[in-house]
Structure 1
Amino acid sequence: MTSRRGPYAKTRGREEAVGRVAYELVRSAGHRALTMTEVARRTELSEAQLLYLFPSRDHLLVAALVHADSRSDQAARERRPDPGTEPDASLARTINHELADPASLRLFVSMAAEAGDPEHPAHRWMTERRARITLSYATFLRRLQADGWAHPDVDPEQFARQFMALWDGLQAHWLIDPSFDLGAEVGAGLRALARRDAMLARVAINQLL
Structure 2
Amino acid sequence: MERSQEQKSRRPAVRGSYAVGDERRARILDTAVEHYARWGFHASSLARIAKDVGITQGGLLHHFRSKEDLLVSVLRRSDEQDVERFFSREPATPVEVFELLVELAAHNAERPGRTKMFNVLAGEAGEPGHPAHDFFVRRYRTVIAKTAAPLRAAVERGELRPDTDPEGVAAELAAVMDGLQLQWALAPDTYDMVGRLRSYLDRLLRSVTVDGAGLPARR
| TM-score using structure 2 length | 0.64
Structure 1: segments with no counterpart, 5+ residues: 1-15, 203-209
Aligned to 1:46: 58
Q: Which amino acid aligns with 2:191?
A: F
Shift of 1:91: 3.3
**Structure 1's 144 and 19: CA in aligned 2 closer, same or farther, altered over 3 A?**
farther
Q: How far off its partner does 1:195 sit?
A: 4.4
1:200 matched to 2:211: yes
Give 1:156's aligned residue: 166
Alignment of 1:37-186 (within 5 A): 37=47, 38-39=49-50, 46=58, 49=61, 53-54=65-66, 56=67, 59-77=69-87, 88-145=98-155, 150-178=160-188, 179-186=190-197
The whole-number CA distance in structure 1 between the counterparts of 2:179 and 2:202 is 17
Q: Deviations over 1:80-129 (max 9, x none)?
A: x9xxx765445323421332111001000000110111111111111111
User: 1:187 aligned to 198, 209, 214, which one?
Assistant: 198
Distance 2:194 2:168 in 1: 22
The Cα of 1:73 is off from its aligned counterpart by 1.0
Q: Is the 8 A contact 2:46 2:57 kept in 1?
A: no
Q: How many Å separate the matches in 2 of 1:163 and 1:175?
A: 18
The answer on whether the counterparts of 1:114 and 1:120 sit within 8 Å (CA) in structure 2 is: yes
Give 3-state SS (helix, strand or coil) of 2:110's partner. Answer: coil
* Residues 29 and 143 of structure 1: CA distance in aligned 2, closer, same or farther (over 3 Å): same
8 A contact 2:184–2:191 mirrored in 1? yes
Identity %: 24
- SS, match of residue 124 in structure 1: helix
| Structure of larger gyration radius | 2
Could you list the runs of 5+ residues in structure 2 that have no partner in the other structure?
1-21, 214-219
Q: Secondary structure at the match of 1:152?
A: coil
Partner SS for 2:132 = helix
Q: What residue is the counterpart of 2:15 in the other structure?
A: none
C-alpha RMSD of the superposition: 3.8
The one-letter code matched in structure 1 to 2:65 is: L
Output the CA distance in 1 between the equivalents of 2:185 and 2:69: 23
Alpha carbons of structure 1 residues 64 and 197: separation in structure 2 relative to 1, 3 Å: same
Q: Is the 8 A contact 1:163 1:189 kept in 2?
A: no
* One of 23, 29, 37 as aligned partner of 2:29: 23
Q: Would you say the 8 A contact 2:161–2:209 is kept in 1? A: yes
Contact residue 19 and residue 64 of structure 1 kept, 8 A:
no
Instruction: Tell me the CA shift for residue 44 of structure 1.
Output: 8.2
Count of residue pairs brought into register by the alignment = 182
Letter in 1 for 2:105: I
Letter in 2 for 1:180: Y
